[in-house]
Amino acid sequence: MHGAAYWLTLIIGLAGIVVTLALAGRRIQFLTKLFRSGQPDPERTLQVRREPKAAVEGQAVEVLGQKKLLKWTVAGAAHFAVMWAFFLLATVYLEAGVQLIFGLEAHIPFIQTWGPIGFVQDTIALACLLGLATFAAIRIKQSPKKLGRKSRFKGSHTGGAWVILFMIFNVIWTMFFFRGIEAARDELTYGKAAYASWLSGRPFTGLSDGTLNWLESVGLLLHIGVALVFLVIVVNSKHLHIFIAPLNVMFKRRPDGLGAAQPMMSKGKPLDFEEADPDEDTFGRGKIEDFTWKGYLDMATCTECGRCQSQCPAWNTGKPLSPKMLVLELRDHAFAKAPYMLASEEEKEKFTDEQKLAMQVDKELVGDDGVIHPDVLWSCTNCGACVEQCPVDIEHIDHILDMRRFQVMIESSFPSEAGVMLKNLENKGNPWGMSEMKRLEWIEELDFEVEVVDEKLPEDTEYLFWVGCAGALEDRAKKTTKATAELLHIAGVKFAVLGPMEACTGDPARRLGMEFVFQMLGQQNVETLNEAGAKKIVATCPHCFNTLANEYPQIGGNYEVVHHTQLLAHLVEEGKLTPINPIEENITYHDPCFLGRHNKVYKQPRDIMATVPGVKTQEMHRHKDRGFCCGAGGARMWMEERIGKRINTERVDEALETNPDTVSTACPFCLVMLGDAINEKKNEGAAKETLEVVDVSQLLIRSVKGEKEPAPAE
Ligand code: SF4
Ligand code: SF4
């Protein structure tokens, strides 16, 4: 026979569960409806079916293994403990459920008497407490009130985060409380193996059976009650990520949301510009309803951790763009507008003006008074630091690019300076608007012959050397082109160039949002390359490299593409290039974003420098996957930088901290941006006159040949 304590506990517990399930269920139903209302994105589900192993690996490595979070050791370890406590302490809730229904003395046969389980439960609960203390310390240290923009929590809902920490703390102490009472009653089936629970029961030994019985009932109800309140808070807050982050990881764009920009999609299919109808099709994202279900999932999954913001070059130099706030602003707008989006046409007509105002029905997506300010949208360099760092795989760049596409292609609204670049691309096939014949001029400065393709590549050609617009037309980048050509020549690699047949890959147009011009140039280049019979391509520009390798397959161009640093490192390793002349210099290497983060080439440029005798390398504070952009990507090269500190100046300030003789890099745009900033520093007297920025190929040729630069022809 059960007593009054049992019945009261059972009634209160069951009532709480029913109310909670109703409240949480309603919210989950709303969220499901919202996600389902997004535009279709069939590729996301198809890729999971095509590569189930990769999907499972993603869950194992990123969700269970917390790989991305652990890149930030202390915060990552704390999150690891709290997340595993969430999984493992679900077993305590299972036990609590059994005790609620069958009485305090009930337990799960065989399992709930096995000491190691109790030991693991107590240990992870203590680890969780340690994790909570660490989170609290980080939040105090990183308080936006103290650090302002420097805090990664600036713009996050910090109050909500403290509530969550408090709720998790409640889960833990109530667990120890009710299990401690159980231990005091000598009813804790794990015995002393559940050491922390057993110890928490010590102060209660000696109380009467009746008192302990009531105390345990109260403890059990508190423990269950905390979880129920927590569940309602979670589904209504950023902590929703507990449930949906695994989905976001599962459906992320493989392999990591970086590299290729995605084709423009409308109704789940690539947009065909010849057939497209601006009234029927979506051209990028012009309103929140244009986002796909994966876009909504991204917005809802953001944990507001601010890792993306802390790495963003735009945010770090005083621009209004924070990738975190961009996602949060989209999310808040989607939630505000959701009742309108989900309403039937009939219901929509019944909404009053006040209701429509509250639902932000007429709020522009991008505009001075819109959800996203144009300065935010145009500040992005597409550097990928946000995507790289985001622990839940949110794809910021894809969203930014899609919003840019609507602004450029439908609204014709973009920084006017970039218009010149677009016109030049359309008319001349390069951003500077130079004559195509100028693409041959660098060859005349060499003292050996370079094969220029005339329709077909000669049979014995190993590589088509994709020179790129900067490499052919920009004076500083031409030095890289000449150094690379000469190194290939010395190593005996047969290569050919397209010369005037080469046009811009279309990268600046695409990253600006002008997909039409990208498609035009891309198709022209793919046709030229396919007709020439190109199979293997080497490129010195990481933007060309990324486009040729990762984006041209979208339009029928499939080639084996390498960056020149990869090929040169390989030639050095094979002994075909031997750096012999010492370069006694301190050199710091700047990782180009489209080579490093977007394509994971970090090692080869460093390997090349390591083989040059005398070179002493020193890493900048931010390097490799946490490298800092030069400011040129995302078509920013072609726009004025009017807000905040210049990104290239910030990067050169970091480089100067290493007291370098030379700054090296592996991208013509980084070369120009860093070179400009170094010249400014020299004018200010803040950098030594001899400081220069060079491509790693220039260092290599100097060491291989013992000359400062490739010798010009007589
Ligand atoms: S891609 Fe780079 S610049 Fe753009 S939002 Fe992300 S971190 Fe900032
Ligand atoms: S977008 Fe990702 S990295 Fe940025 S705050 Fe949200 S969860 Fe953190």
Distance, CA 243 to ligand 2 centroid (Å)?
A: 16
Boundary-marking domain end, from 386, 414, 442: 414
With a 6 A CB cut-off, is 75 part of the ligand 2 pocket? no
* 86 and 140 within one domain: yes
Query: Which residue's C-alpha comes closest to atom 7 of ligand 1?
Result: 312
Find out whether 516 and 272 touch, Cβ atoms under 8 Å: no
Distance CA(72)–CA(248), nearest Å, equals: 20
With a 6 A CB cut-off, is 311 part of the ligand 2 pocket? no
Q: Look-up: residue for tokens 């409806």?
A: 33
* 393 and 314 within one domain: yes
pLDDT over 70, % of the chain: 99
With a 6 A CB cut-off, is 394 part of the ligand 2 pocket? yes
The alpha-helical segments, DSSP class H, found in 430-559 are: 441-444, 469-473, 475-491, 507-512, 515-532, 542-546
Distance CA(658)–CA(620), nearest Å, equals: 7
Mutation test residue for ligand 1: of 380, 387, 630, 647, the one with most atoms within 8 Å of CB: 380
For residue 61, being part of any structural domain is answered with no
For residue 713, being part of any structural domain is answered with no
* 533 and 514 within one domain: yes
With a 6 A CB cut-off, is 526 part of the ligand 1 pocket? no
Q: Which helix (H) or strand (E) holds 697?
A: helix 696-705
Q: What pLDDT is recorded for position 536?
A: 98
With a 6 A CB cut-off, is 431 part of the ligand 1 pocket? no
Kindly give the number of the ligand 1 atom that is closest to the alpha carbon of 315: 8
Distance CA(58)–CA(63), nearest Å, equals: 7
Mutation test residue for ligand 1: of 330, 388, 397, the one with most atoms within 8 Å of CB: 397
Stretch 598-620: mean pLDDT: 98
With a 6 A CB cut-off, is 305 part of the ligand 2 pocket? yes
pLDDT over 90, % of the chain: 95
- Burial of 331-363, coded b for 16+ CB within 10 Å and e otherwise, reads bebbbbbbbbbeeeeeeeeebeeeeeeebbbeb
Task: Please check the confidence at residue 55 and state whether its pLDDT lies above 70.
Answer: yes
Quick: pLDDT tens for 534-578: 999 999 999 999 999 999 999 999 999 999 999 999 999 999 999
What's the token pair of residue 581?
């002349």
What's the token pair of residue 635?
């078509």
Boundary-marking domain end, from 523, 552, 572: 572
What pTM did the predictor assign?
Answer: 0.95
Under 8 Å CB-to-CB from 628, ≥6 apart: which residues?
A: 313, 316, 385, 620, 622, 647, 650, 651, 654
For residue 428, being part of any structural domain is answered with yes
Task: Please check the confidence at residue 93 and state whether its pLDDT lies above 80.
Answer: yes
Q: What pLDDT is recorded for position 431?
A: 97
Which stretch of 67-71, 274-278, 356-360, 517-521 has the lowest confidence by average pLDDT? 274-278
Q: Which of 581, 375, 421, 601 is nearest to 517 (CA)?
A: 421
Find out whether 581 and 706 touch, Cβ atoms under 8 Å: yes
Torsion angle (degrees, nearest 10) of CA 336, 337, 341, 345: 110
What's the token pair of residue 614?
């005398």
* 307 and 239 within one domain: no
For residue 43, being part of any structural domain is answered with no
The alpha-helical segments, DSSP class H, found in 385-456 are: 385-389, 396-409, 417-428, 441-444
Query: Which residue's C-alpha comes closest to atom 5 of ligand 1?
Result: 323
For residue 63, being part of any structural domain is answered with no
Under 8 Å CB-to-CB from 590, ≥6 apart: which residues?
A: 620, 627, 630, 651, 655, 663, 664, 665, 670, 674, 693
With a 6 A CB cut-off, is 306 part of the ligand 2 pocket? yes
Under 8 Å CB-to-CB from 313, ≥6 apart: which residues?
A: 381, 383, 385, 628, 629, 631, 647, 650, 651
* 553 and 590 within one domain: no
Distance, CA 140 to ligand 1 centroid (Å)?
A: 26
Mutation test residue for ligand 2: of 258, 308, 321, the one with most atoms within 8 Å of CB: 308
Kindly give the number of the ligand 1 atom that is closest to the alpha carbon of 629: 2
Q: How confident is the model at residue 274 (pLDDT cuts 50, 70, 90)?
A: confident
Task: Please check the confidence at residue 604 and state whether its pLDDT lies above 60.
Answer: yes
Q: Which helix (H) or strand (E) holds 466?
A: strand 463-466
With a 6 A CB cut-off, is 596 part of the ligand 1 pocket? no
Distance, CA 458 to ligand 1 centroid (Å)?
A: 42
Quick: pLDDT tens for 371-420: 999 999 999 999 999 999 999 999 999 999 999 999 999 999 999 999 99
Distance CA(604)–CA(625), nearest Å, equals: 14
Distance, CA 547 to ligand 1 centroid (Å)?
A: 19
Query: Which residue's C-alpha comes closest to atom 4 of ligand 1?
Result: 380
Residues 418-424: contacts with CB under 8 Å, at least 24 apart: 418/512, 418/635, 418/638, 418/639, 420/638, 421/508, 421/509, 421/512, 421/635, 421/638, 422/509, 422/512, 422/514, 422/517
Q: Look-up: residue for tokens 């161009």?
A: 557
Boundary-marking domain end, from 249, 278, 300: 249
Distance CA(391)–CA(62), nearest Å, equals: 8
Query: For the domain that residue 568 is a member of, what is the CATH number?
Result: 3.40.50
104 DSSP 8-state letter: T
Distance, CA 341 to ligand 2 centroid (Å)?
A: 25
Q: Measured over all CA atoms, what is the biggest interatomic distance in the chain, rounded to whole angstroms?
A: 107
* 326 and 395 within one domain: yes
Which of the ligands is closest to the CA of residue 319? 1
Query: Which residue's C-alpha comes closest to atom 6 of ligand 1?
Result: 386
Which of the ligands is closest to the CA of residue 257? 1
Mutation test residue for ligand 1: of 383, 597, 639, the one with most atoms within 8 Å of CB: 383
* 586 and 545 within one domain: no
With a 6 A CB cut-off, is 635 part of the ligand 1 pocket? no
Find out whether 112 and 124 touch, Cβ atoms under 8 Å: no
With a 6 A CB cut-off, is 261 part of the ligand 1 pocket? no
Distance, CA 703 to ligand 2 centroid (Å)?
A: 44
By CB atoms closer than 10 A (0-12, 13-18, 19+), residue 73 is exposed
With a 6 A CB cut-off, is 303 part of the ligand 2 pocket? yes
Q: How confident is the model at residue 297 (pLDDT cuts 50, 70, 90)?
A: very high
With a 6 A CB cut-off, is 327 part of the ligand 2 pocket? yes
Task: Please check the confidence at residue 143 and state whether its pLDDT lies above 60.
Answer: yes
Task: Please check the confidence at residue 714 and state whether its pLDDT lies above 70.
Answer: no
Which of the ligands is closest to the CA of residue 244? 2
* 379 and 288 within one domain: yes
Phi, psi of 272 (to 5 degrees): -100, 110
Q: What pLDDT is recorded for position 238?
A: 85
20 to 17, 90, 220: CA distances (angstroms): 5, 17, 17
Q: Which helix (H) or strand (E) holds 266?
A: strand 265-266
Helices (runs of H) and strands (runs of E) counted in the chain: 32, 11
- Pairing type for strands 586-589 and 662-665 reads parallel
Distance, CA 392 to ligand 2 centroid (Å)?
A: 7
With a 6 A CB cut-off, is 313 part of the ligand 1 pocket? yes
Residue 561: strand pairing partners:
537
Q: What pLDDT is recorded for position 708?
A: 53
Query: For the domain that residue 117 is a member of, what is the CATH number?
Result: 1.20.950
Task: Please check the confidence at residue 141 and state whether its pLDDT lies above 90.
Answer: yes
- Count other Cβ atoms within 10 Å, centred on residue 166: 13
End-to-end CA distance of the chain: 107
Radius of gyration of the chain (CA): 30
Find out whether 495 and 463 touch, Cβ atoms under 8 Å: yes
Distance, CA 204 to ligand 2 centroid (Å)?
A: 45
Distance, CA 42 to ligand 2 centroid (Å)?
A: 25
DSSP output for 49-80: HH-HHHHHHHIIIIIIS-TTGGGSHHHHHHHH
For residue 302, being part of any structural domain is answered with yes
By CB atoms closer than 10 A (0-12, 13-18, 19+), residue 682 is middle
Under 8 Å CB-to-CB from 401, ≥6 apart: which residues?
A: 261, 262, 284, 382, 511, 513
Distance, CA 308 to ligand 1 centroid (Å)?
A: 8
Work out how many domains the chain is built from and give that number: 4
With a 6 A CB cut-off, is 380 part of the ligand 1 pocket? yes
Kindly give the number of the ligand 1 atom that is closest to the alpha carbon of 593: 2
Q: Helices 4-36 & 209-235, crossing angle to 10 degrees?
A: 10
Kindly give the number of the ligand 2 atom that is closest to the alpha carbon of 241: 7
Kindly give the number of the ligand 1 atom that is closest to the alpha carbon of 384: 1
For residue 187, being part of any structural domain is answered with yes
Query: Which residue's C-alpha comes closest to atom 8 of ligand 2?
Result: 305
191 to 103, 124, 181, 184, 187: CA distances (angstroms): 19, 17, 12, 11, 8
Stretch 55-78: mean pLDDT: 95
Task: Please check the confidence at residue 709 and state whether its pLDDT lies above 60.
Answer: no
Domain range for 675: 573-705
The alpha-helical segments, DSSP class H, found in 185-254 are: 195-200, 209-235, 241-250
* 262 and 237 within one domain: no
Q: How confident is the model at residue 1 (pLDDT cuts 50, 70, 90)?
A: low
For residue 405, being part of any structural domain is answered with yes
* 587 and 568 within one domain: no
With a 6 A CB cut-off, is 384 part of the ligand 1 pocket? yes
pLDDT, the chain, mean: 96
Find out whether 33 and 342 touch, Cβ atoms under 8 Å: yes
* 265 and 405 within one domain: yes
Phi, psi of 671 (to 5 degrees): -55, -45
Which of the ligands is closest to the CA of residue 261? 1
* 500 and 449 within one domain: yes
Distance, CA 512 to ligand 1 centroid (Å)?
A: 14
Distance CA(188)–CA(105), nearest Å, equals: 9
Distance, CA 243 to ligand 1 centroid (Å)?
A: 26
Phi, psi of 110 (to 5 degrees): 70, -50
Residues 92-98: contacts with CB under 8 Å, at least 24 apart: 92/121, 92/175, 92/179, 92/223, 93/223, 93/224, 93/227, 96/178, 96/220, 96/223, 96/224, 97/224
Residue 589: strand pairing partners:
664
Which of the ligands is closest to the CA of residue 311? 1
